[in-house]
């Protein structure tokens, strides 16, 4: 029974977990921002709040750019982990490139 769980169920359950992990890397920024605003710590969250309140558009755009880069990096890490752990994903990528 343990062999079935570890070999089959765990392998299939890792795909959605790793995909969500890629999105969670980007959401770390929003969680940190919430804590910074509540506790009044200086940091990215407090900086972004001050920028929005003072309508500093360049700083707001820079903060959104950093968030977008974190999302892209998180998804890239998730895709690389999925390709490493699941041979079906690698096979689909190879077939997609050759067609």
Average pLDDT of 25-36? 84
- Name the CA dihedral angle for 60, 63, 69, 73, rounded to a multiple of 10 degrees: -150
pLDDT tens digits along 40-99: 889 888 899 999 999 999 999 999 999 899 999 999 998 888 888 877 776 666 666 655
Q: What is the pLDDT of residue 96?
A: 65
SS (H, E, C) 84-98: HHCHHHHHHHHHHHH
Q: pLDDT-derived band of residue 23, with 50, 70 and 90 as boundaries? A: confident
pLDDT tens digits along 5-14: 777 777 778 8
Q: What is the pLDDT of residue 85?
A: 81
Distance CA 94, CA 68 (A): 28
Distance CA 15, CA 89 (A): 10
The residue assigned the tokens 């710590």 is 41
**Closest residue by Cα to residue 30 from 43, 16, 17:** 43
Question: Rounded to two decimals, what is the model's pTM?
Answer: 0.74
């Amino acid at each position: 029974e343990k062999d079935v769980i570890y070999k089959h169920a765990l392998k299939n359950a890792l795909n959605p977990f790793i995909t969500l992990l890629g999105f969670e890397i980007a959401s770390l920024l929003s969680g940190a921002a919430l804590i910074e605003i509540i506790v009044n710590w200086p940091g990215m969250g407090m900086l972004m709040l001050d920028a929005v309140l003072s309508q500093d558009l360049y700083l707001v755009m820079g903060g959104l750019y950093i968030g977008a880069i974190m999302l892209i990096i998180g998804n890239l890490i998730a895709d690389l982990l999925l390709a490493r752990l699941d041979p079906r994903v690698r096979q689909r990528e190879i077939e997609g490139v050759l067609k």
